[in-house]
Structure 1
Amino acid sequence: MPASVHRILGIDPGSRKTGFGIIESGRYNPNYLVSGVIRVEKFSGAQRLKNIFESVCQIIDQYQPDIMAVEKVFVYKNPKSAITLGQARGVVLCAAAIKNVPIMEYTPTQIKSTIVGKGHANKDQVQFMVQRLLKLTDTPQEDAADALACALCHDRYMTLGIDPEQISKGSKF
């Protein structure tokens, strides 16, 4: 892989389904490599977290990403849901840290605004734009599309030379 090409692993963490997507970013349009969903619905408690952790580690080992872009948790009305989602997100971040993959975090609003053009876009709009931007023949599954959108968001920020931290503090680009 040439030095100017970066492999970005996008993750949409979830306690039952965690989406992942990998793109290669270069001087031109990003290229799709792979995407999918880590499904752990049939497991309970700690076993779910273990399976998410091991799966993310396997993805990192197989595809050797240069960076991981992760969707930040937004506050749910239900604190229990937020805690459960936070645990899943925690094991994803831990896998990246153990594998020495740098992590960038983006809010759902940042991702949707960057990919769709409005921060409160629905899932169908995100799927449509991900399919168009990556020139995919099929619509990606919802969680995989969210993960690819996260990777594409990071790619866009880096291509434009924008510091994501400044965007989250209210600066406009």
Structure 2
Amino acid sequence: MGAGRVAGWTRILGIDPGSRVTGWGVVEASGPAVRYIASGCIRTEGEDLPVRLREIFTAVGAIVATHQPEELAVERVFVHRNADSALKLGQARAAAICASFGRQLPVHEYAARAVKLAVVGQGGAEKPQVAHMVRALLQPPAPLAADEADALAVALCHAHTRPLGARLAAATRLRVVRR
């Protein structure tokens, strides 16, 4: 456990992938309590996709090294009408996920609709509603960029759903043992 860490709190890195702007947010969760740690945006430059992917990979690797999350939550890619955009988004997402491999973080994926449902209570919520709830729940020290708020929403979604996942996993193990 790193400096400033408190036992019983799990540190989660949320990622909102994008080939131009990738949002990231770190929260700590303990039961229903969630607190803000840090957040930001990775803004890539240039037209060359491999260069932008390397920037995402390097930046997420540095974020992981600095904040030492124990779990990674990433927004799942949705199907675009534009196949090229979907491929670029998927590659940006992969670059972010691969950057966490050095710490062997468990990776959890959430659809945008699930994130909105967990944070706002409505799966069809608009981005401003999500950003408003993120600010209300986490009270960050400064205004948030849209991608930053989205990444924190992904982290919040995981923080709220992980206790249920743990109970389901325990129930599944019990069922297997009883047979």
Do structure 1's residue 142 and structure 2's residue 130 form an aligned pair? no
Identity of aligned residues (%): 44
1:97 is aligned to 101
| Greater helix proportion | 2
- CA–CA distance in 2 between the matches of 1:11 and 1:163? 25
Q: Return the offset for 1:163.
A: 7.4
SS in 1 for 2:11: strand
SS in 2 for 1:148: helix
Contact map agreement 1:128 1:139 (CA 8 A) in 2: no
> Over aligned residues, Cα RMSD in angstroms?
1.9
SS in 2 for 1:37: strand
1:124 is aligned to 128
C-alpha offsets along residues 43-96 of structure 1, whole Å, 9 cap, x if unaligned? Answer: 522110000000000000000000000000000000000001011011111111
Gaps of 5+ in 1: 166-173
1:21 is aligned to 25
Do structure 1's residue 108 and structure 2's residue 112 form an aligned pair? yes
Letter in 2 for 1:80: D
**Residue-pair matches, total:** 165
TM-score (norm 2): 0.86
Question: CA separation of 1:85/1:164 partners in 2, compared to 1, >3 Å: closer, same or farther?
Answer: farther
Q: Return the offset for 1:24.
A: 0.8
Letter in 2 for 1:149: A
Moved over 6 A (4+): 162-165
Query: After the TM superposition, which residues 69-88 of structure 1 pair with which residues of structure 2 at under 5 Å, given as runs?
Result: 69-88=73-92
Match of residue 12, structure 2, among 8, 14, 25: 8
Gaps of 5+ in 2: 170-179
Question: CA separation of 1:74/1:59 partners in 2, compared to 1, >3 Å: closer, same or farther?
Answer: same
Deviates more, 1:143-152 or 1:91-100: 91-100
Do structure 1's residue 55 and structure 2's residue 80 form an aligned pair? no
Contact map agreement 2:32 2:160 (CA 8 A) in 1: no
Question: CA separation of 1:57/1:137 partners in 2, compared to 1, >3 Å: closer, same or farther?
Answer: closer
Q: Which has the larger radius of gyration?
A: 2
SS in 2 for 1:20: strand
